[in-house]
Amino acid sequence: MTSAIGRQTETDRGHTAAGFDVLAVRSDFPILQTTVNGKPLIYLDSAATAQTPSAVIDAVVRYYNNDNANIHRGVHTLSVRATNMYESARAKAAALIGAKRPEEMIFVRSATEAINLVAQTYARDHIKPGDEVLVSEMEHHSNIVPWQLLCEQTGAVLRVAPMNDAGELRLDEYEHLLGARTKIVAVTQVSNALGTINPICDITRMAHEHGACVVVDGAQAVPHIKVDVCELDADFYAFSSHKFFGPTGVGMLYGKFDLLNSMSPYQGGGEMIRSVTFEKTTYNDVPHKFEAGTPNIAGGVGLGAAIDYVNGLGIEAIVAYEDDLLDYATQALLATPKVTLVGTAAQKAGVLSFNVDGVHPHDVGTMLDQDGIAIRTGHHCAQPVMDHFGIPATCRASLAFYNTRAEIDALVVSLRKVQEVFA
Ligand code: C6P
């Protein structure tokens, strides 16, 4: 088996010398040592799901081998141990995004569930007919559809803030759309389809001036940039473990403590109650009030291990490495004939969307797969973005800190082959 680690370039060695040892990092990820279609795997689909280091896989296995039990329910040793591990992951998640206290972090299934939770609790409690919810043109469907459902349920109106052709929010228009009726502003920090980093501080400041509550979708931000929810002044912030090198099926919702404390429960069941009679039920404290039923305990433990792993690498080092790699990849694609980049914002993270003249993205993706290269093709669950550009789909190469310049070079070689076949 040829290892992708062996395919380093001088520039990759340069990175190593500069302090981020990408080749050592790659050796932490078993899947990156495998082949696909007889070729070393080149994984450029981390925006869909990031790969998982041994430290996370081992933590989950260790948990099932040694500690598996239900949490918050037992006095026996395993239950206490499992509870401590789960609660320690909550504290790590709080520290990761700068929350003031672990109680501000609610375990959910995913970023999608986090946003639905806010829509069906806080927002449903506060929205009246004629009120407005402001989303943006570059939102993932997960930050559109929950708000559409809410509007259908309450008679509120969905407004959409536009972007320009570089894929940047038009802040002047944004400001015009805010008003006394705006109750919720829902915005992504990083676009999954374009890579744009949005100016969340400006948005929260403007929204708060109008008394609106700001829900930030951090699914694509947390793996790539340093996040501090207090600096951002986000009221709610959502992210998923599986895009952060952790297991699938677990995510986190941050909410300011007073907001969470004032909210109605989301789902009913065990764990979220203080007492139950047929006449009246009273609810548990935050965050447990929002965590009905047995959660994904192993997933939470795995997320904790992923946070430890990323902290070990250092988010500043990751940002510097990825910025450089994104720049290298952007230049490489711009220099490739008949390739058009979609999304050219000044501030970007992790994502390169592009099209190849005359070739459907699915054909590009299928041919790259023959070379062991995994990209995503389609609308990326962001159909309004595709509508903006008048295209049905793009090819999307999305990066993580384990990708190398050599892999970008291989992508370009493969794209040239695609062009020859379709010439
Ligand atoms: N984007 C992508 O390939 P979940 O599925 O709940 O973990 O994440 C939803 C989600 C929310 N917001 C943004 C900005 C996202 O990118 C995603 C997931 C994946 O782009 C799968 S569609």
Question: What CATH number has the domain bearing residue 293?
Answer: 3.40.640.10
Question: What does the pLDDT read at residue 355?
Answer: 98
Preceding amide of 223 cis, omega within 30: no
How much is the mean pLDDT over the chain? 95
Q: How confident is the model at residue 12 (pLDDT cuts 50, 70, 90)?
A: low
Q: Is 349 left (phi over 0), alpha (psi -120 to 50) or beta?
A: beta
Listed residues 265, 289, 311: the one ending a domain: 311
Q: How confident is the model at residue 270 (pLDDT cuts 50, 70, 90)?
A: very high
Global pTM reads: 0.96
Give the integer Cα–Cα distance in Å for 90 and 296. 13
The CATH number of whichever domain residue 405 belongs to comes to 3.90.1150.10
Shared-domain flag, residues 342 and 360: yes
Shared-domain flag, residues 164 and 199: yes
Percent of the chain with pLDDT over 70: 96
Shared-domain flag, residues 327 and 292: no
pLDDT tens digits, 232-259: 999 999 999 999 999 999 999 999 999 9
On whether the CB atoms of residues 214 and 207 are closer than 8 A, the answer is: yes
Shared-domain flag, residues 65 and 47: no
- Return the best residue to mutate from 113, 118, 194, 240 for the ligand 1 pocket (most ligand atoms within 8 A of CB): 240
Asked whether residue 302 is domain-assigned, the answer is yes
Asked whether residue 3 is domain-assigned, the answer is no
Shared-domain flag, residues 122 and 178: yes
Evaluate: CB of 157 within 6 angstroms of ligand 1. Answer: no
Q: Which residues contact 188 (CB under 8 A, 6 or more apart)?
A: 136, 138, 139, 140, 143, 198, 216, 217, 218, 219, 220, 221
Question: What does the pLDDT read at residue 89?
Answer: 98
Shared-domain flag, residues 183 and 87: yes
Shared-domain flag, residues 332 and 185: no
Question: What does the pLDDT read at residue 1?
Answer: 33
Asked whether residue 300 is domain-assigned, the answer is yes
Evaluate: CB of 216 within 6 angstroms of ligand 1. Answer: no
Q: How many domains does the chain have?
A: 2
For residue 229, how many C-alpha atoms fall within 13 Å in the half-sphere facing its CB? 30
Asked whether residue 301 is domain-assigned, the answer is yes
Give the integer Cα–Cα distance in Å for 267 and 94. 23
Question: What does the pLDDT read at residue 11?
Answer: 56
Shared-domain flag, residues 128 and 262: yes
On whether the CB atoms of residues 60 and 67 are closer than 8 A, the answer is: no
Asked whether residue 4 is domain-assigned, the answer is no
On whether the CB atoms of residues 135 and 115 are closer than 8 A, the answer is: no
Q: Give me ligand 1 centre to Cα 108, in Å.
A: 14
Shared-domain flag, residues 335 and 208: no
Q: Which H or E element spans position 133?
A: strand 132-136
Q: What domain range is 261 assigned to?
A: 57-311
Q: Give me ligand 1 centre to Cα 213, in Å.
A: 22
Percent of the chain with pLDDT over 90: 95
Listed residues 311, 336, 360: the one ending a domain: 311
Q: How far apart are the first and last CA of the chain?
A: 33
Asked whether residue 1 is domain-assigned, the answer is no
Question: What does the pLDDT read at residue 19?
Answer: 74
Q: How confident is the model at residue 5 (pLDDT cuts 50, 70, 90)?
A: very low
For tokens 């040592």, the residue is 33
Question: What does the pLDDT read at residue 6?
Answer: 39
pLDDT tens digits, 123-162: 999 999 999 999 999 999 999 999 999 999 999 999 999 9
Instruction: Provide the annotated active-site residues.
Output: 381
Q: Give me ligand 1 centre to Cα 186, in Å.
A: 15
Listed residues 311, 327, 346: the one ending a domain: 311
**β-pair partners for 134:** 159, 185
Shared-domain flag, residues 211 and 341: no
Q: Which contacts qualify for 19-25: CB closer than 8 Å, 24 or more apart?
A: 19/317, 20/313, 20/317, 20/318, 20/320, 20/321, 20/401, 22/321, 22/401, 22/402, 22/403, 22/404, 23/404, 25/313, 25/401, 25/402
Asked whether residue 401 is domain-assigned, the answer is yes
Least confident of 72-76, 79-83, 253-257, 315-319: 72-76
Shared-domain flag, residues 76 and 177: yes
Shared-domain flag, residues 245 and 163: yes
Asked whether residue 27 is domain-assigned, the answer is yes
Is 58's pLDDT higher than 80? yes
Helices then strands, counting H and E runs in the chain, come out as 16, 17
